[in-house]
Structure 1
Amino acid sequence: MREPISHALSQDADEEPLRDALKRQPDNVDAAIPLARALLARKSPGEALEVLDTVLLAAPGNLRALNAKGVVLDHEGRHHEAQAMYRQALATEPANPMLLNNLRLSLAVGKTELGNASPQTQTDGRHALVRSK
């Protein structure tokens, strides 16, 4: 019983310096992306989206933040919204391989889900968030 509790506490402790960095510098993508990744792993995608939205308010059009938000949206099965994020970023940098790859994955996963009788959230997006360093 102690191990899961201590593990959960250490996750929150790991997040605290990232949250502090974002308070000091709201456009700090280097803090926002690992925090969003941790929140997504903790099954708090809404919180991850809030973190990324805050960064995008401070740094609108930041490619890495747009990509990370797209990944979280994909993870949540919100593929059309994710694709809009990737396309917005691609308008700035059309040949970006990370964005192109994530857009292709989103389109493919979205089509697969449409073909399923009971759509389920796909987990493929988690890997893309790792690539958004």
Structure 2
Amino acid sequence: MRERISHALGRDPDDDALRDALKQRPNNIDDAIPLARALLARNCPNDALEVLEGVLMAAPGDLRALNAKAVVLDHEGRHREAQEIYRQALAADPANPMLRNNFKLSLALEGKTEARGADPTSQTDRRHALARSK
């Protein structure tokens, strides 16, 4: 019942706790990802991007934050922007399986072929991609 009321009011008490934690430690990706996921689930992608950009301001180059931001961009159909972020992150860690898989999925979502580097056999459901950032 409490969850229904908080959802109806638009903010979850856990969201407030995560926001407070991020104010104290702006580079805390462990709080930013669940908050971004919750915001995305409530169809607030701009708020999710704002949270992730805040983390990236405090911790530029954080691979999990970059991945999470790209996932949100992909979710919004902004595949080219997402792919640029994946490329940036992959330049720092070319063997990272999370980044490689999400990049390939982004390419597939945009409709690119395997000839450009996508491997459709390793794709996973986009809804779980942000969870893998954790």
C-alpha offsets along residues 29-66 of structure 1, whole Å, 9 cap, x if unaligned?
A: 00000000000001000000000000000000000000
Q: What is aligned with 2:111?
A: 111
Q: What is aligned with 1:132?
A: 133
Shift of the alpha carbon at 1:126?
A: 2.5
Q: What is aligned with 1:121?
A: none
Deviates more, 1:3-12 or 1:98-107: 3-12
1:41-120 pair list within 5 angstroms: 41-111=41-111
RMSD: 1.9
Check conservation: 2:36, 2:49, Cα contact below 8 A. yes
Matched position secondary structure for 1:89: helix
Q: Percent identity?
A: 66
Check conservation: 1:79, 1:106, Cα contact below 8 A. yes
Q: Structure 1 length as normaliser, TM-score?
A: 0.84
- Corresponding letter in the other structure for 1:6: I
Give the direction of change, closer, same or farther, for the CA distance of 1:35–1:4 in structure 2 (3 Å limit).
closer
C-alpha offsets along residues 60-114 of structure 1, whole Å, 9 cap, x if unaligned?
A: 00000000000000000000000111111111100000000000000001117xx
Q: Structure 2 length as normaliser, TM-score?
A: 0.84
Tell me, in whole angstroms, the C-alpha distance in 2 between the residues paired with 1:10 and 1:53: 22
Q: What is aligned with 2:120?
A: none
Check conservation: 2:35, 2:48, Cα contact below 8 A. yes
Greater RCO (CA < 8 Å, at least 6 residues apart): 1
Check conservation: 2:6, 2:13, Cα contact below 8 A. no
